[in-house]
Structure 1
Amino acid sequence: MDMKRRIMKKLIRSIPILSILAIVLLIQVLVGMGEAVRTYSEYYFDRIYADGESLKNSIESILNAGTPLKYADVDTLANLLDKEPAGITKIEIWDGNDIVYPKSEEETYKKVIYEKFLEVTEIGGLKRDKNKTDSKPLEILYRVQKSLLNYKVDIPLKNKIDQEQSGTISIIISKKVISQKIAYYFRIVYTFFIVAIMMYVIFLLKTEHKWKHRWKMWVTSSFCIAFMMMMGLIIFTLINIYLDGITGKTYGVTNSLTHRLKSACELGLDLEKFTNDIDNMFSKCISSNSEIRRILLEKNGKIVSSIDKETKGSTLDSQTQLLKTDYINTYGDIICSEHSSYKINIYVYKNAIYKKLIRNIKNFLVLLIALFFVAALFINLIISLRQKVEEEDNNLIENISDYSDYKINLIKPIYFIAAFGEGCITSFFPNYVNERAAGINGAASLIITLYSIIFTLSLYPAAKVVSRKGEKSILCLGIAIYSFSMLILVIDIHWQLIFVSRLLAAIGQAVIFAGVQSYILRNTGEGQKTKSSAIIVFGFNGGMIAGTSLGALGLNYLGKSGVFLGIVVVSLPLIIYSILLLPKKENDTNNLKKEKSMQKRHWIETLKIVILDIGFLKSVFLVGISTKMILSGFVTFALPLAILSGYKKDDIGQIIMIYYAGVLLSSIYSSKLSDKLGKTRNILFFGMLGSGAGLALIGANSNLSQIEFPYFLIAGVALLGVAHGFINAPINTHIINTNAALKIGQMSIASIYKMLERIGHMAGPIVFSQIIYLNKKTPLAFVYVGVVVIVFGLLFKIGLKSEEVYK
Structure 2
Amino acid sequence: MSQYIKNSRIFFGILLVSMSLFLIVVVGYAQTLKSYKAQTREAILAQAEVAKLNIEQILNSGVPLQEIAGLQTLLAPIADTDPSVVDIRLTSGELELYRYTNVVIEGNLVSIPLSNKFSVAGSLEILLSDAPIKGLVDSSFSVMLWVALILIALFVWSIAIQQSGARYLKSFSVVFLTMTLLVVALVSVLLKQSLENKAVAMSDIISHRIAPIMQEEIDPSLVVGLDEMLADFISTNNEVASLTLNVGGERVAYSADEAHSQWLSQLATYESTNSLGNSTSISFHPEVLLEQLLRVLKSFAILFGGCAFVCFAFVKLLSREEKQPKRENVLDKIKALLLMTVLMESLMAPMLPEYIEVVVLNAGYSGLTASLLFSFYFLGFTVTLLPAARLADFMDSRQILIGGIVLSAMGSLALIIGDQLSMILVARFVSGVGQAAIFIAVQHYILSHSNQENKTQAAGIIVFCFNAGFIAGAAFGALLVDMIGVKGIFMLSALIGVSMFVFAQWLPTQLGTKTLPNASSKYRLLKYGVKTMGQDAKRYIAQSAFLRALLLVGAPAKMLMTGVVFFAIPLVLAERNIASESIGQVLMTYAIAVLFVSGKVAPIIDKRGDAKLALCLGNVFSAISLVVLGIGLQSSSDMLVVSFSSVSMLILGLAHGLINAPVVTHVINHVPSSDESTAASTYRFLERFGHISGAILVGVFIRYFGIEMGFFLLAAAFSIFGLLMYLLDGEKLAEAKS
Distance 2:34 2:390 in 1: 49
Contact 1:687 1:726 in 2 (8 A): yes
Contact 1:420 1:546 in 2 (8 A): yes
Kindly state the Cα deviation for residue 251 of structure 1 after the two structures are TM-superposed: 1.1
Secondary structure, counterpart of 1:425 in structure 2: coil
Q: Which of 141, 154, 159 lines up with 1:199 in the alignment?
A: 154
Q: Deviations over 1:119-165 (max 9, x none)?
A: 4xxxxxxxxxxxxxxxxxxxxxx62xxxxxxxxxx777888885343
Secondary structure, counterpart of 1:801 in structure 2: helix
Q: Tell me, yes or no, if structure 1 residue 241 matches structure 2 residue 201.
A: no
Tell me which moved more, 473-482 or 576-585: 576-585
Kindly state the Cα deviation for residue 224 of structure 1 after the two structures are TM-superposed: 3.1
Q: Deviations over 1:51-81 (max 9, x none)?
A: 7789989999999965859x9998x769975
Kindly state the Cα deviation for residue 273 of structure 1 after the two structures are TM-superposed: 5.0
Q: Which residue of 1 aligns with 2:232?
A: 284
Distance 1:714 1:562 in 2: 27
Matches within 5 A, 1:466-615: 466-525=392-451, 531-587=457-513, 599=529, 602=532, 605-612=535-542
Q: Which residue of 2 aligns with 1:801?
A: 734
What TM-score, normalized to structure 2?
0.79
Tell me which moved more, 631-640 or 419-428: 631-640
Q: Deviations over 1:297-345 (max 9, x none)?
A: 456776554456999xxxxxxx99756635413345696xxxxx96543
Letter in 2 for 1:792: M
Q: Which residue of 1 aligns with 2:312?
A: 376
Distance 2:437 2:289 in 1: 50
Structure 1 residues 421 and 342 mapped into 2: Cα distance closer, same or farther (>3 Å)?
Answer: closer
Give the root-mean-square deviation of aligned CA atoms. Answer: 5.1
Structure 1 residues 246 and 625 mapped into 2: Cα distance closer, same or farther (>3 Å)?
Answer: same
Q: Which of 330, 349, 358 lines up with 1:435 in the alignment?
A: 358
Q: Which of 628, 631, 656 lines up with 1:724 in the alignment?
A: 656
Letter in 2 for 1:657: M
Structure 1 residues 219 and 722 mapped into 2: Cα distance closer, same or farther (>3 Å)?
Answer: farther
Q: Tell me, yes or no, if structure 1 residue 364 matches structure 2 residue 300.
A: yes
Contact 1:296 1:346 in 2 (8 A): yes
Structure 1 residues 37 and 88 mapped into 2: Cα distance closer, same or farther (>3 Å)?
Answer: closer
Q: Which residue of 2 aligns with 1:163?
A: 120
Q: Tell me, yes or no, if structure 1 residue 329 matches structure 2 residue 303.
A: no
Contact 1:466 1:514 in 2 (8 A): yes
**Unaligned residue ranges in structure 1 (runs of 5+):** 105-110, 120-141, 144-153, 312-318, 336-340
Kindly state the Cα deviation for residue 207 of structure 1 after the two structures are TM-superposed: 3.8
Matches within 5 A, 1:617-656: 617-632=547-562, 635=565, 653-656=584-587
Q: Tell me, yes or no, if structure 1 residue 757 matches structure 2 residue 713.
A: no
Q: Which residue of 2 aligns with 1:457?
A: 383
Contact 2:347 2:476 in 1 (8 A): yes
Q: Which of 319, 341, 347 lines up with 2:283 in the alignment?
A: 347
Q: Which of 7, 13, 27 lines up with 2:9 in the alignment?
A: 13
Kindly state the Cα deviation for residue 362 of structure 1 after the two structures are TM-superposed: 0.9
Larger Rg: 1
Contact 1:683 1:727 in 2 (8 A): no
Tell me which moved more, 493-502 or 559-568: 493-502
Kindly state the Cα deviation for residue 248 of structure 1 after the two structures are TM-superposed: 0.4
Kindly state the Cα deviation for residue 236 of structure 1 after the two structures are TM-superposed: 1.2
Give the count of matched residue pairs. 716
Kindly state the Cα deviation for residue 28 of structure 1 after the two structures are TM-superposed: 0.1
Kindly state the Cα deviation for residue 366 of structure 1 after the two structures are TM-superposed: 1.4
What TM-score, normalized to structure 1?
0.73
Secondary structure, counterpart of 1:354 in structure 2: helix
Secondary structure, counterpart of 1:469 in structure 2: coil
Secondary structure, counterpart of 1:290 in structure 2: coil
Q: Which residue of 2 aligns with 1:789?
A: 722
Distance 2:456 2:542 in 1: 25
Kindly state the Cα deviation for residue 545 of structure 1 after the two structures are TM-superposed: 1.3
Distance 2:594 2:50 in 1: 53
Matches within 5 A, 1:691-710: 691=618, 694-695=621-622
Contact 1:772 1:781 in 2 (8 A): no
Distance 1:778 1:493 in 2: 30
Q: Which of 10, 30, 44 lines up with 2:26 in the alignment?
A: 30
Contact 1:687 1:725 in 2 (8 A): no
Q: Which residue of 1 aligns with 2:595?
A: 664
Contact 1:422 1:547 in 2 (8 A): yes
Distance 1:619 1:526 in 2: 30
Tell me which moved more, 494-503 or 291-300: 291-300
Structure 1 residues 228 and 269 mapped into 2: Cα distance closer, same or farther (>3 Å)?
Answer: same
Structure 1 residues 16 and 619 mapped into 2: Cα distance closer, same or farther (>3 Å)?
Answer: farther
Distance 2:411 2:449 in 1: 30
Distance 2:508 2:501 in 1: 10
Kindly state the Cα deviation for residue 480 of structure 1 after the two structures are TM-superposed: 2.0
Q: Which residue of 2 aligns with 1:688?
A: 615
Q: Deviations over 1:207-232 (max 9, x none)?
A: 44xx5xxx3x5544443333222222
Kindly state the Cα deviation for residue 482 of structure 1 after the two structures are TM-superposed: 1.9
Distance 1:81 1:720 in 2: 50
Distance 1:99 1:235 in 2: 46
Q: Which residue of 2 aligns with 1:424?
A: 347
Letter in 2 for 1:368: F
Q: Deviations over 1:578-615 (max 9, x none)?
A: 3441422153689xx9x979849656543443335556
Distance 2:641 2:359 in 1: 38
